[in-house]
């Protein structure tokens, strides 16, 4: 022992002397300008134990290798070697459920127990580099998440669990992480951040459900936020990139499980329910017979009655969408609350309709207004009538705390009689919920494109003498030459279906044309309405009726009935064509193609990702409850069971992707002309056109952002053409997603940066601003049914008919009887209230999840912040316009400001806000 102490003392003395000498030498060298030398103790580098790889370990290294460097013949100065290994920490953010049922709580506790005994969540880091020996990607050892049980039981909606790794200094840049979930249930992985790399933190945006190994044996792969074109993929990630995309595509067979993440295409063969009733059968939409876009495949078996129809899943059971496309908890809660509200709003009228035929219609306009003031129970004295028979209704009223009362629509907020005025009727064609159908009159009288042998004379019945007195002294030709005549033409869209619609009890419709004149004040006014019925048989003359602005009491009420039919047609085209078809249905193939063909590390995927959020889920819910046979749309809109066939006819006859961008659409409708001297390269012929004015601001900001983004990654046409993923994405969206239109010559070629930017701008425009302009005004404008009734139940009375005497005696009562019934109106109001509601977790244009880390490309982060700032400037500009009295179509006594394209919004029904995606 004494000898040992002597040796130890001698060793310490030598080290102390060496340290003093080194320090003295360092000061000496500094004094002579020799530079700064850092002296350290020499620590011997111990080799790793046998069987343990030096390249990658899961325990901490306790030694630091060094080498001796002779700086001065009198002293040995020791400098450190670069460490062979270094520590990395993974911070894993997991989103918890804020509301748990008993089953969830039991599963959470079981997962906590499983984690303690080793059935935990395992991570492994994958390098961008290949191992030079085995030519496989370099991989870290596996590491488990720590403290799962404790942290998942803590309060809060997010927790951060950690894992630690020891990596070899030659590991390279981390490009991917695999996650293995050995718990019993899935969890939502928001992000992973690796800390400890010399280059700084590495971010992995995940935002995905990680399934248990009992549901999905393969490990999940998440790539870092560093974007790579396919040809630039680091060698260590090439195989993973290909495998991930292949798995997302699936093999096109079998029924999809709710936990699947497979994106595939199918036709709309699940709208009918022939097994329930023969009258609920519906034709398949998609294919040569009835062209239509494709939807997300579920793979359910066919119905018993029709092998071409897919069996249905009814509420409350969910329809399959890939797992990550489902609503997140906050969105789901808001949507279910809206559905509950809709159920309650519909319940009492449903009861009323079954027990009391005499209360099925509104008897006065006061009855309508009482829906907003008193609610459904109290209106029209229904409480006594109902409570005598159904005591439960009182409990519903008491427990719903006002849920049975409707919010007052914006159209009534400033002037409750505005909807009666002709100028307001016309203004809404420019600044209402459907401002995308008005077009310039180029030929007078207007001419139909339908087969005259079937539908009669193609020329309109409107003549010059009908409108000459309403053109401020101009002749019809002068008005046309001066771009003063405009038209809302629903003749060809409706006429082929009118006979079938009018054969349905309680539904009546015309094919309508409406002519407007642009006044010197910048407003438009209706000057003629044409109501057409098809010939009774081929070769017969069509029935046509032309009405002009009223001159007496009788013509006043007939004119308002005619406007109501125009509004009903407008509501149908808006919902079935412009809203559902042109945004929801036509964007879905691009969403499917993006997930199937673009890796999450592809820069274009990163650009499009926020604009695809929730779209597949809301479309699946629409197929389940809105556009299906006997669903809300068929129940509430005039075309009834022919609604989706009308939508398909519009797709076949007029839909063109190259004309879906805003400038192209304005030029197509003739409401703008090309003018290179103007800011957007075109001039509006109706200068005060709120939708177009604000829309061009939004279009331009999106276009500039997309061009900046595309130019950064595609400086030449060759790079666009050689990008295999990008070319397959576009090819599949066109040739599979829009297979029935694939032969059209108007599809843009994706062969240079400009064409790519144009395609992407159009997709983002449709998903964000266009959808917002067509959706979020539905309740503010349509919540008061007389303003734009979705359904008409009577034709205009004519002299000699029994209805004419009823009309003359009580015109307003007949007018209300032509509107939807109490049940139909309240059902419609409840649905558009839900559709017009912003979720609390909405992401608006100019916003995105983790704005600083969605990409590692600092140029694009900076570019996005510039885009976001531009969107905020647009918001201020729209607010300024709405306060400027020279814009009479958006400012004036009782005039609603046009706010549908104001980018931001709080939650709820606000009549404003532009979400990134089609999310409702």
Q: Kindly tell me the burial class for residue 141, based on how many C-beta atoms sit within 10 Å of its own C-beta (0-12, 13-18, 19 or more).
A: middle
DSSP track, 453-497: HHH---B-S--HHHHGGGSTT--HHHHHHTT-EEEEE-HHHHHHH
DSSP track, 892-916: STTPPP--TT-S---SEE-S---BS
d(CA 686, CA 518): 8
d(CA 80, CA 66): 4
Question: First vs last Cα of the chain: how many Å apart?
Answer: 82
Q: Which is the catalytic residue, given 225, 273, 628, 775?
A: 775
d(CA 24, CA 21): 5
Instruction: Let me know if 579 is a catalytic residue.
Output: yes
Number of H helices, E strands in the chain: 31, 23
The secondary structure of 606-639, three-state, reads HHHHHHHCCHHHHHHHHHHHCCCCCCHHHHHCCC
Residue listed under structure tokens 């007029």: 654
Instruction: Let me know if 173 is a catalytic residue.
Output: no
Maximum distance among all alpha carbons in the chain? 132
Residue 467 and residue 475 in contact, taking contact as beta carbons nearer than 8 Å:
no
- Residue 531: helix, strand or coil by DSSP? strand
d(CA 522, CA 884): 14
Beta-carbon count within 10 A of 101 CB: 9
The pair of structure tokens assigned to 374 is: 């008193």
The pair of structure tokens assigned to 141 is: 């050892």
Pairing between β-strand 908-909 and β-strand 137-139 as defined by DSSP bridges: unpaired
Give the contacts of 391 (CB within 8 A, at least 6 positions apart). none
The pair of structure tokens assigned to 95 is: 């989103």
Q: Which is the catalytic residue, given 584, 595, 602, 838?
A: 584
DSSP track, 556-588: HHHHHHHHHHHHHHHHHHIIIIIIIIIIIIHHH
Q: Kindly tell me the burial class for residue 21, based on how many C-beta atoms sit within 10 Å of its own C-beta (0-12, 13-18, 19 or more).
A: middle
Give the contacts of 74 (CB within 8 A, at least 6 positions apart). 21, 25
Instruction: Let me know if 920 is a catalytic residue.
Output: yes
Query: In the 8-state DSSP scheme, what is residue 769?
Result: I
H or E element in which residue 125 lies:
strand 121-130
The pair of structure tokens assigned to 752 is: 């240079």
Instruction: Let me know if 262 is a catalytic residue.
Output: no
d(CA 431, CA 900): 9
H or E element in which residue 814 lies:
helix 811-818
The pair of structure tokens assigned to 111 is: 């997962």
Residue count of the chain, please give it.
Answer: 920
Instruction: Let me know if 771 is a catalytic residue.
Output: yes
H or E element in which residue 180 lies:
strand 174-181
Q: Which is the catalytic residue, given 183, 560, 771, 838?
A: 771
d(CA 480, CA 459): 17
Q: Which is the catalytic residue, given 579, 595, 611, 738?
A: 579
Specify whether the backbone of 299 is left (phi greater than 0), alpha (psi in -120 to 50) or beta. left
d(CA 464, CA 515): 11
Query: In the 8-state DSSP scheme, what is residue 319?
Result: P
CA atoms within 13 A on the CB side of 151: 17
d(CA 714, CA 206): 26
d(CA 148, CA 182): 12
> What are the strands, taking DSSP E only, across 333-421?
none
Question: Which active-site residues does the annotation give?
Answer: 579, 584, 771, 775, 920
């Amino acid at each position: 022992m004494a000898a040992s102490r002597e040796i130890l003392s001698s060793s310490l003395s030598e080290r102390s002397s060496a340290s003093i000498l080194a320090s003295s030498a360092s000061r000496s060298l500094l004094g002579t300008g020799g530079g700064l030398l850092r002296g350290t103790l020499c620590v011997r580098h111990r080799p790793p134990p046998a069987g343990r790889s030096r390249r990658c370990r899961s325990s901490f290294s306790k030694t630091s290798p060094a080498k001796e460097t002779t700086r001065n013949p009198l002293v040995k100065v020791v400098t450190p070697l670069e460490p062979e290994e270094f520590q990395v920490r993974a911070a894993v953010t997991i989103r918890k459920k804020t509301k748990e049922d008993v089953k969830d709580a039991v599963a959470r506790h079981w997962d906590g127990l499983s984690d303690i005994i080793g059935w935990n969540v395992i991570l492994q880091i994958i390098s961008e580099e290949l191992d030079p020996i085995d030519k496989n990607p370099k991989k870290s050892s596996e590491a488990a998440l720590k403290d799962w049980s404790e942290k998942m039981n803590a309060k809060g909606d997010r927790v951060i669990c950690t894992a630690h790794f020891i990596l070899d200094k030659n590991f390279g840049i981390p490009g991917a992480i695999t996650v293995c979930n050995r718990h019993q249930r899935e969890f939502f992985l928001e992000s992973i951040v690796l800390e400890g790399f010399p280059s700084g933190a590495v971010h992995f945006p995940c935002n995905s459900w990680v399934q248990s190994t009992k549901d999905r044996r393969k490990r999940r792969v998440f790539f870092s936020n560093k974007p790579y074109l396919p040809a630039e993929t680091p060698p260590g990630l090439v195989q993973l990139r290909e495998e991930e995309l292949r798995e997302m595509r699936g093999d096109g067979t079998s029924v999809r499980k709710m936990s699947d993440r497979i994106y595939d295409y199918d036709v709309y063969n699940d709208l009918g329910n022939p097994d329930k009733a023969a009258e609920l059968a519906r034709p398949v939409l998609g294919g040569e017979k009835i062209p239509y876009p494709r939807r997300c495949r579920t793979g359910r078996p066919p119905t018993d009655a029709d092998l071409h129809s897919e069996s249905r899943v009814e509420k409350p059971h969910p329809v399959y969408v890939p797992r990550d496309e489902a609503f997140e908890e906050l969105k789901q809660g808001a949507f279910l609350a809206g559905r509950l509200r809709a159920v309650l709003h519909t319940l009492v009228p449903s009861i009323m309709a079954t027990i009391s035929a005499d209360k099925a219609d509104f008897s006065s306009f006061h009855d309508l207004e009482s829906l907003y003031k008193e609610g459904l129970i109290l209106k029209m004295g229904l409480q006594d009538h109902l409570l005598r028979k159904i005591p439960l209704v009182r409990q519903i009223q008491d427990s719903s705390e006002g849920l049975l009362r409707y919010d007052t629509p914006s159209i009534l907020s400033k002037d409750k009689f505005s909807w009666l005025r002709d100028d307001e009727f016309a203004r809404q064609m420019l600044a209402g919920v459907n401002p995308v159908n008005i077009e310039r009159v180029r030929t007078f009288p207007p001419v139909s494109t339908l087969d005259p042998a079937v539908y009669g004379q193609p020329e309109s019945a409107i003549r010059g003498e009908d409108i000459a007195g309403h053109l401020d002294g101009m002749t019809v030709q002068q008005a046309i030459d001066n771009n003063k005549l405009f038209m809302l033409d629903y003749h060809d869209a409706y006429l082929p279906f009118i006979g079938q619609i009018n054969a349905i009890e309680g539904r009546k419709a015309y094919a309508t044309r409406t002519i407007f004149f642009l006044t010197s004040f910048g407003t438009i006014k209706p000057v003629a309405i044409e109501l057409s019925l098809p010939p009774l048989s081929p070769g017969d003359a069509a029935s046509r009726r032309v009405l002009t602005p009223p001159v007496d009491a009788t013509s006043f009420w007939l004119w308002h009935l005619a406007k109501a039919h125009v509004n009903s047609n407008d509501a149908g085209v808006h919902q079935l064509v412009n809203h559902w078809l042109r945004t929801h249905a036509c964007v879905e193939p691009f969403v499917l193609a993006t997930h199937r063909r673009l890796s999450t590390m592809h820069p274009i995927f990163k650009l499009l990702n926020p604009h695809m959020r929730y779209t597949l889920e809301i479309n699946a819910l629409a197929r389940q409850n809105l556009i299906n046979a006997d669903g809300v749309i068929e129940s509430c809109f005039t075309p009834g069971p022919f609604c989706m066939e009308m939508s398909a006819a519009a797709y076949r006859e007029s839909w063109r992707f190259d004309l879906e961008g805003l400038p192209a659409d304005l030029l197509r409708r003739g409401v703008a002309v090309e003018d290179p001297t103007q800011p957007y390269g075109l001039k509006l012929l109706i200068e005060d056109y709120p939708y177009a004015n604000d829309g061009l601001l939004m279009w331009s900001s999106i276009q500039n952002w997309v061009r900046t983004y595309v130019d950064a990654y595609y400086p030449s046409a060759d790079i666009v053409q050689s990008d295999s993923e990008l070319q397959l994405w576009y090819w599949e969206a066109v040739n599979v997603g829009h297979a029935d239109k694939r032969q059209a010559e108007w599809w843009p070629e994706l062969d240079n940066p400009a064409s790519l930017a144009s395609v992407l701008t159009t997709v983002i425009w449709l998903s964000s601003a266009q959808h917002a302009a067509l959706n979020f005004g539905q309740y503010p404008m349509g919540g008061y049914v007389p303003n734009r009734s979705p359904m008409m139940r009577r034709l205009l009375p004519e002299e000699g008919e029994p209805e004419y005497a009823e009309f003359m005696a009580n015109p307003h009562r007949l007018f209300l009887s032509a509107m939807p019934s109490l049940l139909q109106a309240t059902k419609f109001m409840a649905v558009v209230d839900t559709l017009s509601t912003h979720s609390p977790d909405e992401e608006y244009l100019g916003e995105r999840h983790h704005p600083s880390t969605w990409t590692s490309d600092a140029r694009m982060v900076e570019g996005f912040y510039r885009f976001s700032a531009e969107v905020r400037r647009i918001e201020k500009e729209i607010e300024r316009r709405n306060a400027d009295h020279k814009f009479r179509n958006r400012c004036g006594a009782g005039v609603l400001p046009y706010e549908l394209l104001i980018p931001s919004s709080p939650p709820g029904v606000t009549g404003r806000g532009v979400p990134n995606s089609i999310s409702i």
